[in-house]
Structure 1
Amino acid sequence: MAYQVAVRRIARKYLRKLKTDTLRQKFLDVIYNDIALAPQNGISKYGDLRPIYSWKLMDNGIEYRIAYAIMDANTIDIILIGTRENFYKQLKQYLKTVN
């Protein structure tokens, strides 16, 4: 069963700003073909990021992360997409502004 995917504005903005279409397509493939089908396979965060999962992605030697939350039995919320550098710091800052 595939989950419905909701992508937050900040994540959509990051995808739009990507310079290559191949990297954008790689992110979309991971989101809709991997995460939407088996979201529990991501890395479960702990501490103050407890309900959030992350997914790792590599492209040309650069590590990327996708942060998401399983909202209910049908929906996944893609919260943030970015490079590994300072990713969790940005995620914590974003979650503070939203909550």
Structure 2
Amino acid sequence: MSSEVSLFGGNSLTTQQGRRVSGAVARATQREVEQVSARAEIRAVEEAGHAFLTSLAMTNVAVLVGQAEMHVRTNPGVAPLMEQLVGTYALGAAQRLNQGF
């Protein structure tokens, strides 16, 4: 919607399509535009948060795999346990991400 106000009085505004609307309609439209904008902003923050948590979980899994490999090199008998521990963490992290905030 345009912010143009009539120079010759009246309380109507002009839309982007060139239609004139009353001040009440313009205010209602502006409220709706603000609500849509607020929902979009919330969604963007949620998306960024989800991406951050996914990145963190990936880093944690990579670190755990590296640590597990180190332990397996010094004590090969722990390989099944390390694989189970890291796998369980990774699955749990994925489930927590799917549950959302």
Q: State the TM-score, normalizing by the size of structure 1.
A: 0.28
The structure with the greater share of residues assigned to strand is 1
The structure with the greater share of residues assigned to helix is 2
Q: State the TM-score, normalizing by the size of structure 2.
A: 0.28
